[in-house]
Structure 1
Amino acid sequence: MEKRRLGKTNFLVSVIGFGGIPIQRVSREEAIEIISAVKEAGINFIDTARGYTVSESLIGCGLEKHGRENFILATKSGKRDYNGILEELNISLKNLNTDYIDLFQFHNIKSLEELDFVMGDEGGLKALKEVKAKGIIKEIGITSHMPEVLDKAMDTGEFATIQCPYNPVERQAEEVFRKANKLDIGVIVMKPLAGGAIQNTDLSLRFITNNPNVTVAIPGMDSVKQVMENAKIGEKIIPLNEEERAILFQEAKELGTEFCRRCGYCMPCPQGIDIPSQFLMEGYYKRYNLKEWALDRYHAMEFRAKDCIECGSCEKKCPYNLPIREMLKRVDMLLER
């Protein structure tokens, strides 16, 4: 498995990492078997999150069985405040059966205002710097779907890594990745298969890992078979030929007609709907087979697809000309139950 230096962390990580979202739907025994396969395949980077229900706990079972020392472990929290981030860190340590975490990340910072709060006197960054000084975490990272948030975060000099969606459909972060490379900041690619929408798995992973500014891609996996298939891509990074590129980008083109990149330009919605999150939950329901989890998160939102009044203001702002109103109707029919 090819390994790359994760920026200034100096961690040498496998170019294909383990994405921890789907593992939450397998049994404890299956999870242990999957982590065993991860180790055998030469994958040493594992990414999970507090928000992935039992993902941390299941991975923790696998680490206990197959050796915490064999992995570079990353998790993340959606909390923004000082006390909240410490509370979640302690839960993660317990769930993962470890006394330290290699990379602790702020999960899905959605705006520059959120970033400013995180970095303020009452924000979580202060807390993480304190526990880092004690060795409880080794490095601090940030994830976002918004390249401009990551761009500003990198300028602060406080973050060792960034994580953002990147695949043949979602390429909006390429310039940010170039900047990260120059600043020696590690680049972690989430959604390498566009949330399961891309069917040409091997081609998409090869496209991503051939980008010299990418450190590690973390496709979600929930079976030994997926681990073995994805790991093969990292054994030898082979560039796409012209025919393969044509196949991959034709698929991307077809997806692009109604595929939300979560860029956020459609916001704010006059009705208060978090439009990108509607499509994110739809994807988790349909493509990740996390139906109950998606429904719980969807119904926890105060304003949902059902509240759309079809004013069309979102469509005027969408740079991809998506038929957002029709797409929201489909979300409503699928998830409003």
Structure 2
Amino acid sequence: MEKRNFGKTGYEFPILSFGAQRIVDEHNCTEEEAIQIVNRAIDEGITYFDTAPTYSKGQSEERLGKSFGKRRDQIWIATKTGERTRDGSWRKLEESLKRLQTDHVEEWRLHAVGTMEELDQIFAKDGALKALIEAKEQGVIKYLSISGHLNPRVQLEAINRFPFDSALVAVSAADHFIYSFAHEFLPKANEQGVAVIGMKLLGLGKLADWYEQALRYTFSLPVSTSIVGISSMEQLEKNLAVANNFKPMTDAETLSFLKEIMHMCTPDTLRWKAKDWNNKEEWAVR
């Protein structure tokens, strides 16, 4: 599988990484299945695992912790804080470490920062960024990150204010058409050496009819790696098949694909860019 540099960190990862949100009961994945899926992924060279304390009330982190065992030193864990204060974020990190059965994580991420107001809260005197910096100074985390689904301008402002090591952003083919991280954020992030992790490749399953094309579209972007949510061994094998045989899309292929799925660019499909999650009709205003 093709590997790429992870920004300026000196590390590199395969183009396919593991989104652990779905290895949970909520997505009909048992603990036994989760452990098997995670270890199969590691066997196939996947080393980057993304999770968060909010995923099924911590069950995602718990199952990763149970899965890694003696292989902990082979993998990279990225988890998140949705808190916007220093103290709240520290509490979340301490809880995450217990569930993950580790004394450190490689990457700690500010989760789903969607507005400038949230960014200001994070950068305040006692904001979440202070917890990230302190945790890095104490060796509890190694790299600092931010994620965003909605407004690329927020993540652009974030990396202008602070030298984040990475950013996790929504770059599905349907995201191409509105509030596009591919157009607005990726060029600046690459220029500054910020590692970019792609997400939402299948649009929460809405692009499943174009499975291979959807993955190839995002893999063809200048991202360091991309996470895909996995809840079954069948899905993992399907993702591995695309990644192992990946060839970048040509301009003609990309154009043809985007024309075919343009009708999918709706607030109903891209809920993370809707006015609110339950709004199927209106785009968020930025």
Give me the identity figure in percent.
Answer: 30
Q: Does 1:208 align with 2:214?
A: no
Give the superposition deviation at 1:11.
2.3
Matches within 5 A, 1:52-91: 52-53=55-56, 54-64=59-69, 67-91=71-95
Query: Does the 8 Å CA contact 2:7/2:195 hold for their aligned counterparts?
Result: yes
Q: Taking structure 1 as reference, are residues 183 and 241 closer, same or farther at Cα in structure 2, changes over 3 Å only?
A: closer
Give the superposition deviation at 1:92.
0.7
Give the superposition deviation at 1:19.
0.6
Q: Does 1:166 align with 2:171?
A: yes
Matches within 5 A, 1:9-88: 9-25=9-25, 26-53=29-56, 54-64=59-69, 67-88=71-92
Cα distance in 2 for residues equivalent to 1:124 and 1:250 = 41
Aligned to 1:305: none
Q: How far does the alpha carbon of each residue in 1:94-147 deviate from its partner, in whole angstroms, 9 at most, with x for none?
A: 111111101100101121111111111110111111110111100110011220
Cα distance in 2 for residues equivalent to 1:81 and 1:243 = 47
Choose the corresponding residue for 1:128, options 129, 132, 152.
132
Q: Taking structure 1 as reference, are residues 134 and 31 closer, same or farther at Cα in structure 2, changes over 3 Å only?
A: same
Aligned AA (2:21): I
Aligned to 1:94: 98
Cα distance in 2 for residues equivalent to 1:243 and 1:178 = 21
Query: Does the 8 Å CA contact 2:203/2:269 hold for their aligned counterparts?
Result: no
DSSP-derived class of the 2:16 partner: coil
Cα distance in 1 for residues equivalent to 2:133 and 2:122 = 12
Matches within 5 A, 1:83-232: 83-145=87-149, 146-171=151-176, 172-174=180-182, 175-199=184-208, 200-211=210-221, 213-232=222-241
Cα distance in 2 for residues equivalent to 1:241 and 1:141 = 31
Aligned AA (1:135): G
Aligned AA (1:182): E
Cα distance in 2 for residues equivalent to 1:187 and 1:166 = 10
Query: Does the 8 Å CA contact 2:206/2:269 hold for their aligned counterparts?
Result: no
Cα distance in 2 for residues equivalent to 1:242 and 1:139 = 34
DSSP-derived class of the 1:163 partner: strand
Choose the corresponding residue for 1:248, options 242, 257, 260.
257
Aligned AA (1:40): D
Structure with greater strand percent: 2
Aligned AA (2:45): G
Query: Does the 8 Å CA contact 2:104/2:140 hold for their aligned counterparts?
Result: yes
DSSP-derived class of the 1:164 partner: strand
Cα distance in 2 for residues equivalent to 1:202 and 1:218 = 15
Aligned AA (1:221): I
Cα distance in 1 for residues equivalent to 2:285 and 2:144 = 32
Give the superposition deviation at 1:237.
3.0
DSSP-derived class of the 2:37 partner: helix
Cα distance in 2 for residues equivalent to 1:246 and 1:158 = 34
Whose RCO is larger (CA < 8 A, sep 6+)? 2
Query: Does the 8 Å CA contact 2:78/2:105 hold for their aligned counterparts?
Result: yes
State how many pairs are aligned: 275
Cα distance in 1 for residues equivalent to 2:78 and 2:251 = 36
Q: TM-score, normalised by structure 2?
A: 0.89
Aligned to 1:301: none
Q: How far does the alpha carbon of each residue in 1:56-79 deviate from its partner, in whole angstroms, 9 at most, with x for none?
A: 101111112x61111111011111
Give the superposition deviation at 1:247.
5.9
DSSP-derived class of the 1:141 partner: strand
Give the superposition deviation at 1:177.
0.7
Give the superposition deviation at 1:246.
6.0
Aligned AA (1:204): A
Give the superposition deviation at 1:176.
0.5
Q: Which runs of 5+ in 1 are unaligned?
A: 267-274, 283-311, 320-337
Give the superposition deviation at 1:250.
4.1
Query: Does the 8 Å CA contact 1:203/1:244 hold for their aligned counterparts?
Result: no
Query: Does the 8 Å CA contact 1:41/1:227 hold for their aligned counterparts?
Result: no
Give the superposition deviation at 1:204.
1.0
Aligned AA (1:41): E
Cα distance in 1 for residues equivalent to 2:268 and 2:86 = 36
Q: How far does the alpha carbon of each residue in 1:240-262 deviate from its partner, in whole angstroms, 9 at most, with x for none?
A: 35785466324422312554545
* Range with greater deviation from structure 2 (237-246 or 86-95): 237-246
